[in-house]
Amino acid sequence: MNGIAYHAERPFAAPHAHGGGKIGRAMLFVQLALVPATLFGFWLYGWPAFFLWAITLLSVLVFEFLSLRLMGKKQAERTLFDGSALLTGWLLAMTLPPWSPWWIGMLGAFIAIVIGKQVFGGLGQNVFNPAMVARVALLISFPLQLTTWVMPMPLASTLIPGVVDGLHITLGQTPLPDAMTSASLLGYAKTELSRGVDLAQALAAAHAPQISWLGVRAGSLGESSALLLLLGGLFLLATRVIRWQAPVGVLAGVLLPALLAHALAPEKYLGVESHLLSGAVMLGAFFIATDYVTSPTTGMGQLVFGLGVGLMTWVIRTLGGYPEGVAFAILFMNALTPLIDRYIRPRILGRTRSGKPVSPLSGADRAKKGA
Amino acid sequence: MSTPFRTLVKDGLWNNNVVFAQMLALCPSMAVTTSGTNGLGMGLATTAVLVVSNVLVALIRGVVSQEVRIPVFIVLIASLVTIVDMALNAWLHDLYKVLGLFIALIVVNCAILGRAEAFASKNGVWPSLVDGLAMGIGFTFALTVIGLIRECLGSGTLFAQASQLLGANFAFLEIRLHDHGGALLMILPPGAFAVLGFLLAGKRLLDARLEARRKTAAAIDTAPVEA
């Protein structure tokens, strides 16, 4: 895997120059960017959230190690700690309901690493984003556990379970009382719409946009605080770990249809703010749609990819059976990535976009003519 | 040219298994195998058609000219499938309701035409009979294994409703493993692909191990004996 220049301005033809980037560095930066939102999530949902996160990350490492050993890969230890598996686990943990039982995290880790990644040949070979594969597989297999969202109970409040109680919840020994669970905004809107209540009434007070920015609401770690995730995303952009095309594409892809539909029929369609700030849009835009392996190579391709993800997300949320569609949308566009890469290709060095060779004199000629 | 029956049986059951080696008939292998019973029923129905079609093709192979052999085989297989379809509907109606459409689809099961074309049209009646039986049992084995794994992971039972297929005497096969339900995904199509993939990988791994062991054994046998 060495020799891939992650920090090149754009893909270029041989001879390549190594930008000095390494997989481990990129993965480390993404994990750093996830830290604020994760810590906030721990504070919001207490010890069970932390235990689930820890179990998922640990299982991911175990399954990665076992797969590498089974496949007889040399230097299994080095590949193990390049951070890619850890990041997959982290992203998966951020999309799970924080009070899920331990086996959800462990099974998710198995699906992500073994079925989502290693079966295809390991890092760089997988067609679909492993974390999203696991998330969707879990959602379809265990709809009840994956839609049980707990109310936020900041660590300061008296309701919050202590370390031992938290462990019991994660180990599945304490069933969650109904009073502690609540629907996420998107789920709530879907239910109300299907009951025939229009959104203007349904969303009067409970879901103001300020709450969405701060994130004190029911949800997974990766959807509670839009602001902290956005900060993480901007950090990644600033350090040039990711490029702007995919995130902008996703946000625009959700924003445009939401704007139009809400303007036409506000009682039937959620507003722009609700769409952008709830669910996994922020996490998906900055952390998942920017996955190097499963998104297109070129900037233009990434823009198309992002727009597709955003549009599909809105379509699934609005017309589909599930209240949230980011994971499905990303898997769908992952499948289209080879096609996008086929039609939108990088310019070959020394050739124009149409493939004609660039004459070495043409630049000088133009300069002469201009003068 | 005659192949020993032993080889025919080995090929059908394992080495040249319809699903695990030839990778044929994958449509019924994945669509029907939501439970062990469904897999078994589909496998048995296919076996019945396969054996009779192999025998009939071997019988008429001298009469049918090369140019029209495929249409003739298809007509033959289609008639047999229709008979099986009606027989199941009459005598095993509950199973018929489960397998339903897929029985009629045995016609387009490439394994059957494949055996007619590749084996029965070139061999005598007895080898064709053995081949059909071995291939059919191999197919049944594959479908039952896939079905059992999916059923176990997806709904937590083994051989549910087996008594409907095999009669009340076989009710002891029906096992309830746990009451937690299961991963719905395993009953859905992705589960079939995943299970088949892992089984294929497992078979190849096993074959590679056996091959390696055989080679070492051969090397030891041929090694010069020290005095």
Global pTM value: 0.84
A360 assigned to some structural domain: no
CA dihedral A133→A6→A336→B28, nearest 10 degrees, is -40
Chain B within 8 Å of A140 (Cβ-Cβ)?
yes
Question: Higher pLDDT residue, A11 or A181?
Answer: A181
Q: How far is Cα B62 from Cα A144, in angstroms, rounded to an integer?
A: 62
User: What average pLDDT does the segment A55-84 reach?
Assistant: 84
Q: How far is A138 from chain B (nearest CA, A)?
A: 8
Total count of domains within chain A: 1
The pLDDT, as a whole number, for residue A152 is: 75
Q: Is residue A199 part of a domain?
A: yes
The length of chain B, given as a count of residues:
227
CATH value at residue A192 = 1.10.3430
CB contact under 8 A, A143 and B183: no
Q: List, in order, residues 6 or more apart from B24 with CB less than 8 Å away.
A: B18, B109, B110, B111, B114
User: Mean pLDDT throughout A61-66?
Assistant: 92
Mutate to test the interface with A, among B150, B153, B180, B184 (most CBs of A within 10 A): B184
pLDDT digits (tens, 9 = 90+) for B24-83: 888 888 888 888 888 998 899 899 999 999 999 999 988 998 899 999 999 999 999 999
Q: What is the number of other CB atoms lying within 10 angstroms of the CB of residue B100?
A: 14
As to burial, measured by CB atoms within 10 angstroms (0-12 exposed, 13-18 middle, 19+ buried), residue A185 is buried
Is residue A284 one of the residues assigned to a domain?
yes
**Is there a domain that residue A216 lies in?**
yes
Nearest CA-CA distance, residue B51 and chain A, Å: 37
Q: For A349, list phi and psi in degrees, rounded to 5.
A: -60, 130
User: Hey, are the CB atoms on B186 and A119 less than 8 Å from each other?
Assistant: no
Distance (Å) from the alpha carbon of A276 to chain B's nearest alpha carbon:
30
CA distance B161 to B99: 13
Q: CA B77 to CA B57: how far, in whole Å?
A: 9
Residue A317 lies in a domain: yes
How many CB pairs below 8 Å do chains A and B form together? 17
Distance from C-alpha of B46 to C-alpha of A352, rounded to nearest angstrom: 59
Chain A residues whose beta carbon lies within 8 Å of the beta carbon of residue B183: 107, 137, 141-142
Name every chain B residue with its beta carbon within 8 A of the beta carbon of A115.
194
Taking the Cβ of residue A141 and every Cβ of chain B, the question of whether any pair is shorter than 8 Å is answered with: yes
Please indicate, yes or no, if residue A184 is contained in any of the structural domains.
yes
Collect all residues of chain B within an 8 Å Cβ-Cβ radius of residue A142. 183-184
Residues of A in contact with B190 (CB under 8 A): 137
Mean of pLDDT values over A149-169: 70
Q: CB neighbours (10 Å) of residue A78?
A: 12
Range of the domain at A79: 23-343
In chain B, what percentage of residues exceed pLDDT 90?
37
> CB A141 to CB B185 under 8 A?
yes
Residue A316 lies in a domain: yes
pLDDT of residue B157: 84
Average pLDDT, chain A: 82
ipTM for the complex? Answer: 0.81
> A141 and B183: CB-CB below 8 Å?
yes
Distance from A14 to chain B by nearest Cα, in Å? 37
The 10s digit of each residue's pLDDT in B159-187 is 887 777 777 777 777 788 776 667 888 88
* Domain contains A306: yes
